[in-house]
């Protein structure tokens, strides 16, 4: 009886508090004539997004949300890639018997783990790019491709031009065929693995699948008569913008780079801890089998360490994705920055922030889903 | 041959020659040797560039000329004595705390009949070397004598505070009370008696008086009456002292710089702790409604970045309060940070609660303890003890996250840079210098805390054996 009453009381208290907060919100909003509908998503954005010349202010707000989600995803993806590779190298480096490598890795971890990621992002954005050693776009450094007239890189303090791909008509079809090629090589990989498991003959699966990939891609490229060509970066006549090539802006590099470096320190600690958690007998057994150092890591230690490392690594990927919201300090056009600008332009705050939170909850769910699948596959290997 | 016949000279020497050291640590095999040969020149070059930046090219006047700005921001200059007084009072608080803690350790050791290993000053320096190095850097940058006097005053106050170890065992609670009181007073000195915040001090003092003076030789009800009288007296004294001495003070809306950073992160962790504890207990509760509510809150908060909550505080919280309520930007940010930290603290405490073996619960139930008492006396103390290192980790994380206030245009330690670079001399230059300085500041505090948490972890693990 007391339990039921207590729970009801808790519910009532929570309800009353919410009722009070929401009631105030409704009163204040109706006083200011702001609605609670999501109709503003169809209204023109009315502002230009930096480094997005294809986006014009007449496009509706929901298109802006899509741009934001895309940029958040891009920064998170590159950040996770940097953090993963660097973290693995440094985590293994800390366990190296080479004194210099071990101490350098330890210093890296102790430094980056203990500074705020925002300081790292602001440092990249202000000290490396905006007020850093690179010149303004009009005096940009152009690195030529040796032996040709085309430019390989255009370096400035605002954006970098790198070689991109240009569609000459058949690019969408080529994209579809590229996907087919990847699927085919994956299938070949699985087939070779099965053959190896059944008959014991060498699988050579890397050669096989790369071969299939190359054959299909080259074949498609020749048949479609060069669907994409390399688009070398080039400044426009008045040197105000990049006329061609793929533009990477400093905001993106700051966010992905700084978060990659910051998270790498956490990843390194996880890797180190997981390797140390693999029983020493495994290493001794590998040594008894006369495996080389590389083989011992590749076939004995790392597979077992990874199984321990996956759950905390999921957490780090999630943290990195959530930390991309710090880009708002340097104006990189991801979802938080765009939401803030859009609220500043008079869009209703409550609905905008609800959308913002839903986007991040969606990213969180997506990442934990992907990595949980990976985790399950790794766990199944155990006997 | 027995061990006694071994001559010392035949034993392998513990110290190896430098050459042998280099060979075994840097060139043990071909691959490792190649790694050394690649890394060493890179390291030397990086060190050369860093030294060039630190000692030759760097325009450190952006930091030295604005040192006060970095430390206390735009805190009114004519009220600066409050910050100085605060530092001294806080040093006193830490001194009293350290003194009392060492006295407690000595008592425990004496009871167990063990010799207490003496702590040398060197070990303290080694524990807090990053903070000491940061203070020395500040002194190096200082252009007036004030910082030197403040540091000297703080060290003196700390040493005076450690005299607390001579407080007799029967009045041990007095030491803790004084430490807590000085901590709160340190906060009050800078904030003054804005609103009713002096009540916090009064409560601490009254509770301390209540628990210290037990009047054990007085019989029955009368002891209770005496204790209540002492508590009320403490309350009145606090009220008079604060209204006469400290009023009106400077509210936290006018704080900035490192000062604001330290207080905001401390407030967020202190305020979020009770909330997080309640959430954790609710999530472990057998009552489904409480469990759902707290699980929903925790998972929602943990799924979104802190900045979205800060935005909610900035853009929505004002609308959720009755018209005319005017919460300052900093108060709203502290609210958001408290809610955010509470969700993480709740998960940490839940981990602690789950680590307590079920036998403890069964034993408590067998003793006939009701649920409330069982939690309060048996489960929660053990759970909290187990998660202290994780809580310190959360504190480090909220300390680092307090830099997000910069995005809300609040001038905390990172944000004061915008004031520095608004000056004509530093508009487009010296960004690297100020950022390196800020990074060193954050690093010194976070590094010291993380080392301390590792030490705690080792000590607690030793206690569990």
* Contact criterion met (CB < 8 Å) for B429 and A97: no
Could you tell me the two tokens for A283?
A: 């290493």
Q: What's the number of domains chain B is made of?
A: 1
Q: Which two tokens stand for residue A246?
A: 């793929």
**Cα A234–Cα A69–Cα A335 angle in degrees, nearest 5:** 95
| Interface contact B443-A10, CB threshold 8 A | no
Burial (CB count within 10 angstroms: exposed 0-12, middle 13-18, buried 19+), residue B44: exposed
Instruction: Output the DSSP codes for A132-153.
Output: SSSPPGGG-EEEEPTTSSSEEE
Band (pLDDT 50/70/90 cuts) for residue B2 is very low
The two most distant CA atoms of chain A are separated, in Å, by: 87
pLDDT at B12: 57
Q: Domain spans of chain A? A: 2-33, 61-141+242-380
Q: Cβ distance A262 to A120 under 8 Å? A: yes
Any domain includes B156: no
Using the beta-carbon criterion (under 8 Å), do A99 and B320 form an inter-chain contact? no
Asked if B401 and A113 come within 8 Å (Cβ–Cβ), the reply is no
Beta carbons of A115 and B54 less than 8 angstroms apart: no
Q: Please check whether residue B14 lies inside any domain of the structure.
A: no
Task: Copy the structure tokens of residue B262.
Answer: 């330290």
Which range of residues forms the domain containing residue B285?
A: 37-75+255-465
Tokens representing A269? 């600690």
Angle subtended by helix axes B306-315 and B329-355, to nearest 10? 140
As a whole number of angstroms, the distance between CA A265 and CA A273 comes to 12
pLDDT (0 to 100) of residue A242:
85
**How close does chain A come to B327, measured CA to CA in Å?**
15
Contacts of A322 in chain B (CB under 8 A): 304-305
Average pLDDT of chain B to the nearest whole number: 85
Tokens 């006295």 sit at which residue?
B103
Residue B345 near residue B277 (C-beta atoms within 8 A): yes
**Contact indicator for B394, B348 with CB cutoff of 8 Å:** yes
Report how far residue A208's alpha carbon sits from residue A184's, in angstroms, rounded to the nearest whole number. 11
Question: Residue B219: inside a domain, yes or no?
Answer: no
- How many percent of chain B have pLDDT more than 70? 90
Q: Which CATH class is domain A61-141+242-380?
A: mainly alpha
B247 three-class SS: coil
Report CA Rg, chain A. Answer: 26
Cα dihedral B407, B409, B413, B417, rounded to 10, equals 100
Calculate helix-pair angle for B329-355, B288-303, nearest 10 degrees: 120
Chains A & B: contacts with CB separation below 8 Å:
156
Among residues A330, B162, B358, the alpha carbon closest in space to that of B366 is found at: B358
Asked if B431 reaches chain A (Cβ–Cβ under 8 Å), the answer is: yes
Cβ atoms of A263 and A79 within 8 Å: the answer is yes
Instruction: Mutate one of A100, A112, A259, A263 to test the B interface: name it (highest B CB count within 10 A).
Output: A100
Q: Chain A contacts of B429, Cβ < 8 Å?
A: 131
Q: Which of A119, A130, A136, A350 to mutate to probe the B interface, most B CBs <10 Å? A: A119
Determine, for residues A27 and B312 on separate chains, whether the beta-carbon distance falls below 8 Å: no
**Nearest-angstrom CA–CA distance, B345 and B395:** 9
Q: What is the pLDDT along chain A (383 residues), one digit of tens a residue?
A: 777 888 888 889 989 998 999 998 888 888 888 888 888 899 998 888 988 888 889 999 999 999 999 999 999 999 999 999 999 999 999 988 889 999 999 999 999 999 999 999 999 999 999 998 899 888 888 888 887 878 888 899 888 988 888 888 788 888 898 999 999 999 999 998 888 888 888 888 889 999 999 999 899 888 888 888 888 888 888 888 888 888 899 999 999 999 999 999 999 999 999 999 999 999 999 999 999 888 998 899 988 888 888 888 988 999 999 999 999 999 899 999 999 999 999 899 999 999 999 999 999 989 888 877 887 777 655 44
Q: Which position has the token pair 């000290």? A: A127
Tell me if residue A179 falls in helix, strand or coil: helix
What tens digit of pLDDT does each residue of B21-61 get? 888 888 888 888 888 899 999 999 999 999 999 888 888 99
Within 368-397 of B, beta carbons closer than 8 Å to A belong to: 396
Please state the separation of Cα B36 from the chain's center in Å: 39
Q: Are A134 and A156 in contact (CB under 8 A)?
A: yes
Taking only residues 264 to 293 of chain A, the set having a beta carbon closer than 8 angstroms to any beta carbon of chain B reads: 293
Residues of A in contact with B439 (CB under 8 A): 115, 119-120, 123
d(CA A231, CA A154): 13
How far apart, in whole angstroms, are the C-alpha atoms of residue B430 and residue B64? Answer: 12
Contact yes or no for B305 and A360 at CB 8 A? yes
Least CB–CB distance from B305: residue in A8, A293, A322? A322
pLDDT for B3: 47
Residue B181 falls inside a structural domain:
no
**φ/ψ (deg, to 5) at A48:** -90, 140
3-state SS track over B23-54:
HHHHCCCHHHHHHHHHHHHHHHHHHHHHHHHH
CATH number at residue B352: 1.10.3720.10
H, E, C per residue of B326-355: CCCHHHHHHHHHHHHHHHHHHHHHHHHHHH
The answer to whether B311 faces chain A, any CB pair under 8 Å, is: yes
């Amino acid at each position: 009886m007391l339990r039921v009453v207590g729970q009801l009381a808790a519910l009532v208290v929570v309800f009353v508090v919410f009722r009070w907060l929401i009631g105030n919100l409704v009163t204040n909003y109706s006083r200011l004539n702001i609605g609670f509908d999501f109709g503003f998503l169809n209204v023109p954005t009315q502002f230009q997004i930096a480094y997005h010349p294809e986006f014009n202010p007449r496009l509706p707000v929901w298109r802006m949300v899509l741009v934001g989600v895309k940029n958040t995803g891009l920064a998170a993806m590159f950040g996770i890639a940097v953090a993963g590779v660097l973290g693995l190298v440094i985590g293994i480096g800390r366990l190296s018997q080479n004194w210099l490598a071990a101490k350098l890795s330890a210093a890296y971890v102790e430094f980056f783990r203990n500074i705020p990621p925002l300081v790292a992002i602001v440092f990249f954005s202000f000290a490396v790019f905006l007020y850093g050693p690179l010149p303004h776009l009009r005096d940009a450094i152009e690195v030529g491709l040796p032996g040709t007239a085309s430019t390989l890189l255009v370096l400035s303090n605002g954006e970098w031009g790198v070689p991109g791909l240009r569609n000459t008509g058949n690019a969408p079809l080529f994209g579809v065929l590229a996907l087919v090629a990847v699927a085919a090589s994956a299938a070949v990989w699985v087939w070779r693995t099965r053959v190896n498991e059944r008959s014991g003959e060498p699988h050579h699966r890397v050669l096989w699948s790369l071969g299939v990939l190359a054959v299909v891609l080259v074949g498609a490229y020749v048949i479609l008569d060069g669907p994409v060509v390399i688009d070398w970066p080039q400044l426009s006549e008045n040197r105000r913008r990049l006329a061609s090539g793929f533009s990477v802006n400093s905001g993106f590099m700051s966010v992905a780079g700084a978060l990659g470096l910051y998270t790498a320190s956490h990843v390194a600690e996880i890797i180190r801890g997981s390797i140390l958690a693999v029983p020493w007998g495994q290493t001794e057994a590998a040594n008894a089998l006369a495996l080389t150092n590389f083989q011992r890591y590749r076939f004995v230690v790392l597979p077992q360490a990874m199984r321990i490392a996956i759950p905390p690594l999921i957490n780090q990927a999630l943290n990195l994705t959530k930390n991309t919201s710090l880009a708002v300090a340097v104006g990189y056009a991801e979802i938080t920055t765009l939401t803030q600008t859009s609220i500043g332009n008079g869009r209703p705050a409550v609905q905008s922030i609800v959308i913002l939170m839903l986007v991040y909850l969606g990213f969180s769910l997506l990442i934990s889903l992907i990595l949980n699948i990976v985790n399950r596959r790794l766990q199944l290997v155990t006997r | 041959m027995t061990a006694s016949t071994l001559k010392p000279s035949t034993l392998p020497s513990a110290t190896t020659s430098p050459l042998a050291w280099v060979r075994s640590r840097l060139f043990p095999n071909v691959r490792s040797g190649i790694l050394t040969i690649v890394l060493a020149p890179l390291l030397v070059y990086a060190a050369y560039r860093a030294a060039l930046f630190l000692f030759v090219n760097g325009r450190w006047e952006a930091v030295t000329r604005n040192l006060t700005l970095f430390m206390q921001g735009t805190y009114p200059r004519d009220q600066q004595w409050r910050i100085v007084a605060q530092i001294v009072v806080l040093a006193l608080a830490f001194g009293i705390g350290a003194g009392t803690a060492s006295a407690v350790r000595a008592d425990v050791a004496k009871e167990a009949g063990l010799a207490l290993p003496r702590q040398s000053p060197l070990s303290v320096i080694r524990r807090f070397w990053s903070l000491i190095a940061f203070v020395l850097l500040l002194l190096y940058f200082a252009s007036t004598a004030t910082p030197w006097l403040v540091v000297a005053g703080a060290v003196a106050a700390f040493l005076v505070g450690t005299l607390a170890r001579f407080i007799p065992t029967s009045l041990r609670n007095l030491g803790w009370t004084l430490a807590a009181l000085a901590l709160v007073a340190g906060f009050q000195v800078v904030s003054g008696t804005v609103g009713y915040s002096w009540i916090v001090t009064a409560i601490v003092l009254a509770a301390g008086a209540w628990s210290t003076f037990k009047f054990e030789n007085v019989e029955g009800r009368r002891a209770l009456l005496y204790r209540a009288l002492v508590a009320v007296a403490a309350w009145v004294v606090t009220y008079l002292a604060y209204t006469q001495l400290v009023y009106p003070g400077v509210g936290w809306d006018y704080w900035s710089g490192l000062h604001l950073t330290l207080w905001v992160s401390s407030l967020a962790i202190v305020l979020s702790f009770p909330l997080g504890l309640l959430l954790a207990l609710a999530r472990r509760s057998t009552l489904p409604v409480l469990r759902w509510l707290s699980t929903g809150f925790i998972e929602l908060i943990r799924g979104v970045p802190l900045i979205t909550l800060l935005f909610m505080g900035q853009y929505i919280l004002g609308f959720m309060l009755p018209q005319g309520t005017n919460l300052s930007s900093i108060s709203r940010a502290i609210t958001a940070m408290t809610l955010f930290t509470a969700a993480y603290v709740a998960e940490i405490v839940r981990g602690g609660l789950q680590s307590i073996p079920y036998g403890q619960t069964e034993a408590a139930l067998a003793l006939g303890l009701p649920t409330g008492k069982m939690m309060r006396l048996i489960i929660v103390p053990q759970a909290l003890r187990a998660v202290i290192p994780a809580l310190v980790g959360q504190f480090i994380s909220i300390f680092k996250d307090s830099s997000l206030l910069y995005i809300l245009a609040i001038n905390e330690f990172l944000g004061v840079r915008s004031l520095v670079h608004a000056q004509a001399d530093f508009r487009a230059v010296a960004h690297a210098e100020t950022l390196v300085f800020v990074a060193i500041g954050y690093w010194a505090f976070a590094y010291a805390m993380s080392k301390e948490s590792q030490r705690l972890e080792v000590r607690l693990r030793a206690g569990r054996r």
